[in-house]
Amino acid sequence: MELKGQHILSVKDISLELINELFQVAEAMRPYAKRQKVSRVLEGALLGNMFFEPSTRTRVSFGCAFNLLGGEVRETTGLSNSALAKGESLYDTAQVLSGYSDIIAMRHPAAGSVAEFAQGSRVPVINGGDGPNEHPTQALLDLFTIQKELERQGKSINQLSLTMLGDLKHGRTVHSLCQLLSLYSNLKIQLISPEALAMPSEFVDILVNAGHQVEVGTKLEQGLPQANIIYQTRIQEERFKSQEEANRYRGYFRLNKQIYFEHCQPNAVIMHPLPRDSRNDANELDNDLNAEPGLAIFRQTDNGVLVRMALFACILGVENQLKKYERDVNWFTGLRNKPQV
């Protein structure tokens, strides 16, 4: 599959070959993302950024990625602010918005909604999260981060021992990530959650069928010692029937400096799709880890921009024209380029 002109609705359509190509383009985006150079390759292009569910980093990083390539962004946020609240169908909304855009990124609370929207769209659509179903661009940036973090340690993805922690039932990021990991084989994957929030069996099967060693458990300490990457997740309270039910699990797994030093490998990498729930009764990833070199959460968010830039460039077919539209940066960028821990 070639990315040019394609929708990105699910990770199911993505091959290893395509990932490798995409990640090479993502690497080439680094000077533009770090504001060492400017490329205006998408000058004149419009992104429709449609977020019908709460979002900070996904929405803003899609917008930044498009702006960094010279394109313009138009966006709408919240179902209640859109004509969907007046009963307009996703098909009609897509027909209208695709007349105003060259590409659309969309998040919506219902599983399958972005695919339904894409059927009415005359331009490529990228799924920014459809309910508990999938979050393909997050999984791509997570995989990119996993590779980079292992490379920093002189390791490759074949040496991955990954522990996913938390709400594995409702977390769309882990659902998509499991499917991408199934493109590899012989990895060690530990799935640790409260019993009621276990990874749905379809995704466990996908991992097992790929030939990975999969261990399922309910105790935090069980998943930590063997992992070189720990992927913590938030209890997805918005997917529960009641807040009381969600509250039973908020704070169930708390990762902090003491637990990290007691149970984890010395260079273990901590990832999280974010937002981390930092309220006292949850505090799933403690601030006392902020200065630890293993905490990769903000490298992960920076990588999101690279991967989303690469997706836009490849889908719009300009990945080989970046240099042609390049110029120097004329403003002060010193603080931004301070090395990150």
Question: CA 12 to CA 5: how far, in whole Å?
Answer: 17
In the complex with ligand NCD, the residue whose CB is nearer, 173 or 228, is 173
Max distance between CA atoms of the chain, in angstroms, equals 56
Among 7, 108, 135, 250, binds ligand NCD (CB under 6 A): 135
- Nearest CB to ligand NCD, comparing residues 49 and 58: 58
CB of residue 97 to ligand NCD, shortest distance in Å = 21
Cβ burial of 265 (10 Å; 0-12, 13-18, 19+) is: middle
- Closest approach of Cβ 213 to ligand NCD, in Å? 26
128 versus 223: smaller Cβ distance to ligand NCD: 128
CB closer to ligand NCD, 138 vs 303 = 138
Nearest residue to 122 (alpha-carbon basis) of 72, 58, 48: 48
Q: Does 274 bind ligand NCD (CB under 6 A)?
A: yes
Residue ranges of the alpha helices (H) in 39-135?
A: 57-68, 90-98, 113-119
Which one of 39, 58, 133, 163 is in contact with ligand NCD (CB under 6 A)? Answer: 58
Tokens of 84: 């969907």
Strand order across the 188-192 sheet: 213-217, 188-192, 161-165, 229-232, 269-271
Between 93 and 127, CB nearer to ligand NCD: 127
Q: Identify which of residues 7 and 59 has a Cβ nearer to ligand NCD in the complex.
A: 59
Q: Is the Cβ–Cβ distance between 99 and 70 less than 8 Å?
A: no
Taking CA 170 as the corner, what is the angle to CA 241 and CA 248, rounded to the nearest 5 degrees? 55
Closest contact distance (angstroms) between CB of 244 and ligand NCD is 19
Site for ligand NCD in 208-237 (CB under 6 A): 234, 236
Which residues within the stretch 153-192 sit at the binding site for ligand NCD (CB under 6 A)? 172-173
Provide the minimum distance between the beta carbon of 69 and ligand NCD in the complex, in angstroms, as a whole number: 21
Residue 138 interacts with ligand NCD (CB under 6 A): yes or no: yes
CB of 86 to ligand NCD, least distance (A): 26
Binding mask 94-123 toward ligand NCD (x if CB under 6 A, else -) reads ------------------------------
Minimal CA–CA distance to 302: which of 333, 332, 267, 340?
340
Q: Site map for ligand NCD, 300-319, x if CB under 6 A? A: --------------------
> How distant, in Å, are the alpha carbons of 100, 232, 287 from that of 64?
19, 26, 27
Name which of 138 and 145 has its Cβ closer to ligand NCD: 138
Taking alpha carbons only, the member of 102, 103, 128, 130 closest to residue 116 is 130
DSSP 285: B
Enumerate binding residues for ligand NCD (CB under 6 A). 57-58, 129, 135, 138, 172-173, 234, 236, 273-274
